[in-house]
């Protein structure tokens, strides 16, 4: 079994944890913008790792991630060789918690962290977090506190700014204890994203990249603000799946094309940003 790059038992209970999902972000676009240095906030947090998505659209991918099965390296060929930051203690892999993994009880990592005293927050973005529908209540229901409003949704050009503004106001009023586990679903890169590219009338790989550049600026504000207000935190940042814009005849996601099933991933401490 692979050894973890970080010991989560030295994290859990000691500091905040932020899980930021850039919904639908493609690995190739993330790597392109990283190389071009057009995403300075994310670049400060270390390089993207090329990973296998846990699902090919939001719903299955999040069920897997919330159970501890985050995106894993593309060269992994066995379940036992995954890096598991969170390990569901009562299923699979001989039920032996890997070295460096946080073994949790319960149906989700949020339930496991709540057992350790965490306040768990969800700030939703895409429709699977819109609590006006029955299905949209499923993921928010996994958290002690969940927030969504129409200004966070995909069709809103300022959605990421609105989400970050909301979070910064929340943490400014929140007590330092207990520690917080925040899950943030960024909707801006998901379709529609054409309005981030001047003159565009339809979504494309280019507007996808423009959306990422917009999101990068918002994330810089979030990470700087969190560090200033609450101090250090461990951050997981990844995509849940990619998407297609006509490559090989494929469009959108929910299909098993390599551009859908390959995603960017990184984790880091706020204090260690370059």
Does 60 fall in a domain?
Answer: no
Query: Which residues have a Cβ under 8 Å from the Cβ of 177 and sit 6 or more positions away?
Result: none
Angle between helices 205-230 and 27-36 (to 10 degrees): 70
Q: What is the pLDDT of residue 91?
A: 75
Does 78 fall in a domain?
Answer: no
pLDDT means per 10 residues, the chain with 274 residues, are: 79 96 98 98 97 96 96 84 86 74 93 97 97 96 97 97 98 95 98 96 97 98 97 97 94 94 97 86
- Give the pair of three-digit tokens for residue 94: 């001989």
What's the structural domain count of the chain?
1
Is the overall model pTM greater than 0.85, yes or no? Answer: yes
Q: What is the pLDDT of residue 2?
A: 57
Alpha-carbon distance of 159 to 274, in angstroms, equals: 27
Does 185 fall in a domain?
Answer: yes
The parent domain of residue 138 ranges over 16-49+111-272
- Give the pair of three-digit tokens for residue 205: 């790989």
Does 236 fall in a domain?
Answer: yes
Q: What is the pLDDT of residue 1?
A: 52
The domain that holds 122 is classified in CATH as: 3.40.720.10
Does 68 fall in a domain?
Answer: no
For the chain, give the longest Cα–Cα distance.
Answer: 55
Neighbours of 50 (CB within 10 A): 17
Q: How far is CA 215 from the centre of its chain?
A: 13
Does 128 fall in a domain?
Answer: yes
Does 193 fall in a domain?
Answer: yes
pLDDT in tens, 146-188: 999 999 999 999 999 999 999 999 999 999 999 999 999 999 9
Does 24 fall in a domain?
Answer: yes
- Give the pair of three-digit tokens for residue 179: 């520690």
Q: What is the pLDDT of residue 152?
A: 97
């Amino acid at each position: 079994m692979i050894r973890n790059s970080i010991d989560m038992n030295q994290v859990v209970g000691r500091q905040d944890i932020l899980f930021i999902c850039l919904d639908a972000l493609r690995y190739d676009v993330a790597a392109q913008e990283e190389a071009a240095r057009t995403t300075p906030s994310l670049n400060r947090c270390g390089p993207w790792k090329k990973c296998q998505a846990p699902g090919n659209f939001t719903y299955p991918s999040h069920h897997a991630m919330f159970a501890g099965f985050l995106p894993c390296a593309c060269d992994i060929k066995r379940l036992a060789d995954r890096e598991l930051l969170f390990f569901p203690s009562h299923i699979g892999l001989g039920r032996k918690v890997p070295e460096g993994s946080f073994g949790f009880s319960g149906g989700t990592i949020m339930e496991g962290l709540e057992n350790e005293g965490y306040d768990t927050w969800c700030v939703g973005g895409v429709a699977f977090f819109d609590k006006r529908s029955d299905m949209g209540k499923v993921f928010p229901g996994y958290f002690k506190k969940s927030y969504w409003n129409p200004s966070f949704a995909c069709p809103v050009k300022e959605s990421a700014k609105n989400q970050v503004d909301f979070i910064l106001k929340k943490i400014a009023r929140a007590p330092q204890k207990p520690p917080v586990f925040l899950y943030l679903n960024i909707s801006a890169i998901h379709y529609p994203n054409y309005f981030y590219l001047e003159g565009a009338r339809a979504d494309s790989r280019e507007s996808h990249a423009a959306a990422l550049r917009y999101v990068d600026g918002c994330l810089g504000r979030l990470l700087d603000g969190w560090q200033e207000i609450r101090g250090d935190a461990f951050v997981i940042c990844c995509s849940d799946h990619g998407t297609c814009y006509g490559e090989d005849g494929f469009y959108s996601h929910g299909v098993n094309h390599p551009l859908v099933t390959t995603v960017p991933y990184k984790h880091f401490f706020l204090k260690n940003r370059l």
